[in-house]
Chains A and B, each alone.
Chain A
Amino acid sequence: MQKRYTLSTLALSIMLVGCGENNQTNQDNQRVVDFAHIQDFPSTYTVPEAEVTFIDNASVYDGVGGQYDNYDIVIQNGKIQAMGANLTAPNDATLIDAKGRWVSPGIIDVHSHLGNYPSPSMNATQDGNEMTGPNTAGVWTEHSVHPQDPGFTHAIAGGVTALQILPGSANLFGGRSVVLKPIVSRTVQEMKFPDAPYGLKMACGENPKRVYGSRGGPMTRMGNAMGFRKAWTEAQSYKESWEKWAENGGDEPTRNFRLETLAGVLNGDIRIHNHCYTAEEMAIMIDISKEFNFEITAFHHAVEAYKIADLLAENNIAGALWADWWGFKMEAYDGTQGNIALVDHAGANAIVHSDDDIGIQMLNQEAEKARAAGERMGLDIPRKHAMKWLTINAAKSLGIDHLTGSLEVGKNADVVIWSADPFSVYTKADQVFIDGALRFDRTNPSFNPVVDFEIGQRAQEEIQ
């Protein structure tokens, strides 16, 4: 289902219309305004028939701050059916003995380029950055995703059950993101997380300056800010032209993909994921969001988030951050391993992200480095709390926290069984379930996914 504004009768009254509508008129011939178009490339993801699974006697991080010993979990019909101590296994259940092992929600990476910068990295596959102009809000990165990137099969082996693919950061407006499940398939549609809202990638700072400084601008940070404000002004007019049409009729405005995405932000359907490093630029972006009345969902990378963590908390903006990346460019020079802990300490939504095809395989380790850095500063951060940085906090920023991101009854059974405490460097994901279906099993290599590229490659065949 998707949210659309119906303006034929009452201005801005909200009604829900059926899936699969692509035109701007619904079944009742009402004129509707839909900027998000979340069903233009509908998800064809399916959940395989799965047995009832009973995870017996595990230690559990539930992803919302809880930790339990000797817990049982029942997975049925793709959902968490029951959780607790000393549960009775349903008759038909597959039993998994998890004594001595740990269970957590599936890890969610909010910043990945798997698929749009796939392995192998070839000239022919650099599909993540539409560097043809500073505003390419009209591109949708799902149109670039190669579904058979081996990065996906490695990510699931690291306990990842959902991930957001973002366009690159060359442009002020990079384009739309897409949220996927790491189920390698023939088409990207088969991987799409059903009903996940779209995101819009924006970028502050050095990258747009570097790419466009000699190509007509922006050349400076003030040029960046002007580019943002100009675009939002246009988007406001665009949005109004559609709203007027919906109210008054007349000629249907011409669809403009670039402005449509921005208008989708202005009406609250599309989420801003903003690559932004420095404290002062984040503060400017917050004011721009107020000027044009939209919300910024998350600052990504945000190496200086710790300097304005209170501003992030006040404005309900998440920090999607690395544990320790720093120094690779000037806007990353003030990086600190304390960043995530300080953002969390201020009460803002802290998220551990990867932006990396290796890092996505060890996000649990990245969280522990960040947690330990916080503890060295004197902050008290139990592991059950740090688990939120990998799960529910990430799900919130993607708008899928009602479906996944925690082990709670009724939620999607996105579950990882770890060989031991997932915050140890020596721990590995043993089994990974997505929507209740086993999708990775370390104990059964012949079960695990391989991508087309690996087939018939001698070195790969020697591994298998």
Chain B
Amino acid sequence: MKYLSLAAGILLSSASFADNIAIVNAKAVTLGQLGTLEQATILIKDGVIERVSAQAIAPKGYTIVDAKGQYVTPGFVGTTVNWGTVEVDAESSSVDSYSELAGPSMRIANAVNADSTRLPTASRWGFSRAIIAPGQGDHIFAGQGAEIKTIGFDAIQQSSVGQFVNVESAHLAEGSRGVLWVALERALVDAKHYAKNPRDRYANASGYSLSLDSLEALQSVINGQEPLIFDANRAGDLLKVIEFSQQHNLKAIIRGGAEAWRVADQLAQANIGVVINPVANLPGDFNLIGARLENAALLEKAGVKMAFSMSDTYTGQNLTQVAGNAVANGLSWNAAIRALTTYPAAMFDLEYSATLTDGAHADVVIWSGDPLELNSAPTYALINGMPIELATRGEKLANRYLMRKPGEAASYVKTK
């Protein structure tokens, strides 16, 4: 049975730790200048991609992994997910993703649990990296997102890759947009003032609208190093984001963007990327009246970069699935793959390039078929050149009950 060979594969994987690896016979989606190659060889050494070659080569000193002509992609990026910061949503003791006290200084990187069972359900589906977003609390500012790899105690790659703000929710303490945008403006003005008056750290702080920790956290936003990620959906709000970002010289990203298709040209012109859920097509509230399945396709047509996100990602497969749905509704397959890789890497200025190119992090995934198709799955994956175990806790549980014989107590059935 297949689960036996799966277990054997794991043993092989750990034995080949830190080996030099040559993935041969790969249909390699490089996302670099080489494009997609049909018979590529990918050489991996010291955790990085040493060389991607269009030719079949088999140098000595490398463990050969035969991709058998199947798709090979860079590891995917989960964009604005909560992996590793929430174990069980309904159990507050296991939810580390937001705080009522949250503000700009909230740093979600501190909350990532590398042992969370959520992370393997991401890496199992080819997601080797993620942008972890803080959960939305009661205020405009939710805090700073982090770049992680989806395995290891050294998961954190960048402890801040952007500041998340919500400019739409009526549930916010600020209530009305009439108050909210003024408060946001005030925060940026204060942050700029603080930048010029660093001694305020120790005096004259009482005039600021936010805590000094918050003002410090906003420095990377006001100087354009990190994006401000705006949760917004309705077309009017998106135009407001464009105007505000230009006024303050901010690097902006929009998350939600249900009606982004209506202002796609303006977004393209302002070079603002959008994080969307491509299957959100219902008017869930009055900010979502124009939600539609063609959003992704229309954004591509206008030249807007995008990434995909959902409020619930039960496994990484949910994200490849919605990418496939975007393709079914007019997005090009290449753009869908880029929305899982190079687009978020560029939008959030990740350390990870999400390409199969010489010198890149060796996050490499071999798929059993088209990565966006529902019956295909990774059969082999590397993160930083190290083979990872694919089986999730859910798969191990399923095997345990499949292997149980009638009359046998389940607890005596051990599976890996």
Complex CA distance for A420 and B61, rounded to whole angstroms: 46
Asked, given contacts A336-B397, A362-B325, A459-B290, whether A423 binds B285 with beta carbons under 8 Å apart, the answer is: no
Expressed in whole angstroms, the Cα–Cα distance for A358 and B89 within the complex equals 20
Q: Is the CB of A428 within 8 A of B328?
A: yes
Interfacial chain A residues near B317, Cβ < 8 Å: 324, 369
Contact B283 A377 (CB under 8 A): no
For window 357-403 of B, CB contacts with A under 8 Å fall at: 372-377, 394-395, 397-399, 401-402
Q: When chains A and B are docked, how far (Å) is the Cα of A336 from the Cα of B314?
A: 10
Count of chain A residues with Cβ under 8 Å from any Cβ of B?
56
Complex CA distance for A151 and B281, rounded to whole angstroms: 9
B312 at the interface (CB under 8 A from A): yes
B321 CB within 8 Å of chain A: yes
B321–A327 touching, CB < 8 Å? no
Given known pairs A119-B284, A327-B87, A336-B395, the reply for A372 and B375 (CB within 8 Å) is: yes
A325 engages B401 (CB within 8 Å): no
Complex: chain B residue closest to A308, CB-CB: B401
Task: Let me know if B290 and A365 touch, CB within 8 A.
Answer: no
* Interchain nearest-CB distance for A354 vs B (Å): 13
How many Å lie between the Cα of A115 and that of B334 in the bound state?
Answer: 38
Complex Cα distance, B259 from A333, in Å, reads: 35
Interface flag for A342 (CB, 8 Å): yes
* Docked complex Cα distance between A306 and B398 (Å): 7
Please state if B372 and A425 are interface contacts (CB–CB under 8 Å): yes
Contact B282 A358 (CB under 8 A): yes
List chain A residues, Cβ under 8 A from B283.
119-120, 150, 453-454, 457, 460
Residues of chain A within 8 A of B3, CB atoms compared = 377-378
Q: Judge whether A460 and B321 touch: CB under 8 Å.
A: no
Query: Within the complex, what minimum Cβ distance (angstroms) separates B368 from chain A?
Result: 9
Min Cβ gap B351→A in Å is 28
Known: A154-B281, A327-B87. A425 touches B374 (CB 8 A): yes
Task: Check B397–A459 contact: CB distance below 8 A.
Answer: no
Query: In the complex, A325 Cα to B312 Cα: how many Å?
Result: 9
CA A368 to CA B376, docked complex, whole Å: 10
Q: How far is the CB of B366 from the nearest CB of chain A, in Å?
A: 15
Q: Measured between C-beta atoms, what is the minimum distance from A341 to chain B in Å?
A: 8
Q: Which of A119, A307, A423, A427 contacts B328 (CB 8 A)?
A: A427
Q: A358 with B324: in contact, given A328-B312, A338-B398, A369-B374 (CB under 8 Å)? A: no
- Specify which of B280, B315, B376 lies most central, judged by the most chain A CB atoms within 10 Å of its CB: B315
User: Which residue of the partner chain, among B1, B2, B259, B284, contacts A459 with CB atoms under 8 Å?
Assistant: B259
Which A residues between 331 and 366 are near B, CB-CB below 8 angstroms? 333-339, 342, 345, 357-358, 361-362, 365
Complex: A335 Cα to B392 Cα, angstroms = 11
Q: How far is the CA of A458 from the CA of B290 in the complex (A)?
A: 8
Is B279 on the interface with A (CB-CB < 8 A)? yes
| B286, CB-defined interface residue at 8 Å | yes
Asked if A357 meets B282 with Cβ closer than 8 Å, knowing A324-B317, A327-B88, A459-B259, the reply is yes
Give the residues in chain B near A368, CB-CB below 8 Å.
374-375
* A120 contacts B394, C-beta separation under 8 Å: no
Residue A255 interfacial (CB < 8 Å):
no
- How many chain-B residues does the 8 Å CB contact rule pick out? 51
**Nearest residue, chain B, Cβ from A121:** B284
Interface string of A413-426 (1 = CB under 8 A from B): 00000000001111
Residues A377 and B2 in contact, CB atoms below 8 Å apart: yes
**What is the CA–CA distance of A457 and B262 in the complex, to the nearest angstrom?**
14
By the criterion CB–CB under 8 Å, are B290 and A462 in contact?
Answer: yes
Mask of A204-217 contacts with B, CB within 8 angstroms, 1/0: 00100000000000
A329 within 8 A of B: yes
Q: How far is the CB of A451 from chain B (nearest CB, A)?
A: 9
Question: Which residue in chain A gives the minimum CB-CB distance to B287?
Answer: A120
> Are A424 and B373 in contact, CB atoms less than 8 angstroms apart?
yes
A328→B410 contact, CB < 8 A: no
> Across the two chains, which residue of chain B brings its CB closest to A337?
B394
Closest B residue to A345 by CB, please name it.
B402
| Complex CA–CA separation, A464 to B233 (angstroms) | 19
Encode contact with A along B171-208: 1 for CB under 8 Å, 0 otherwise. 00000000000000000000000000000000000000
The yes or no answer to A124 lying at the interface (CB within 8 A) is no
A310 (CB) vs chain B CBs: closest residue: B406
- Docked pose: A328 CA to B312 CA in angstroms: 9
Instruction: Determine if B118 is an interface residue (Cβ-Cβ < 8 Å).
Output: yes
Give every chain A residue within 8 A of B401 (Cβ-Cβ): 306-307, 309, 342
- Tell me if B416 counts as interface (CB < 8 A to partner A): no
B154 interface residue (CB < 8 Å to A): no
Complex: how many Å from CA A371 to CA B402? 15
A120 to B233, CA, bound (A): 14
A324 B1 Cβ-Cβ under 8 A:
no
- Asked if A463 is at the interface of the complex by the 8 Å CB criterion, the answer is yes
C-alpha spacing A342/B401, complex, angstroms: 8
For A336, the chain B residues whose CB sits under 8 A away are 394-395, 397-398
Is B100 on the interface with A (CB-CB < 8 A)? no
The answer to whether the Cβ of A45 comes within 8 Å of any Cβ in the partner chain is: no
Given known A307-B401, A342-B398, A457-B289, contact A424–B374 (CB-CB < 8 A): yes
Chain A proximity mask over B279-317: 1 for CB below 8 Å, otherwise 0: 111111110111010000000000000000000101101
Smallest Cβ-Cβ distance to B375: which chain A residue: A372
Does A376 count as interface, using CB distance less than 8 angstroms?
yes
Report if A330-B88 is in contact (Cβ < 8 Å); known contacts: A376-B2, A378-B3, A459-B262. Answer: yes
Contact B289 A426 (CB under 8 A): no
Complex contact A425–B324 (CB within 8 A) = yes
A423 to B397, CA, bound (A): 26
Are B314 and A327 touching (Cβ within 8 A)?
yes
Q: Is A122 part of the binding interface, using a Cβ–Cβ cutoff of 8 Å? A: yes
> B281, B375, B399, B410 — which one has the most chain A CB atoms within 10 A of its CB?
B375
Residues of B within 8 A of A427 (CB): 328
Which 6 A-B pairs give the minimum distances between C-beta atoms? A459-B290, A338-B398, A425-B324, A336-B394, A329-B90, A372-B375
Chain A residues close to B by CB (< 8 Å): 119-122, 150-151, 154, 206, 306-307, 309-310, 324-330, 333-339, 342, 345, 357-358, 361-362, 365, 368-369, 371-373, 375-378, 423-428, 453-454, 457-460, 462-463
Contacts beyond the supplied A120-B283, A336-B397, A454-B289: 12 A-B pairs with Cβ under 8 Å? A119-B283, A120-B285, A306-B397, A307-B401, A326-B314, A329-B90, A335-B394, A337-B315, A371-B375, A375-B375, A377-B1, A462-B290
Q: List 26 A-B contacts (CB under 8 A).
A: A119-B282, A119-B283, A120-B283, A150-B283, A324-B317, A326-B314, A326-B394, A327-B117, A328-B88, A336-B395, A337-B395, A337-B398, A338-B402, A362-B325, A368-B374, A369-B317, A369-B321, A372-B377, A377-B2, A377-B3, A377-B395, A378-B402, A425-B328, A425-B374, A427-B328, A463-B290
Residue numbers of B with Cβ under 8 A of A are 1-3, 87-91, 117-118, 234-235, 259, 262, 279-286, 288-290, 292, 312, 314-315, 317-318, 321, 324-325, 327-328, 372-377, 394-395, 397-399, 401-402, 406, 410
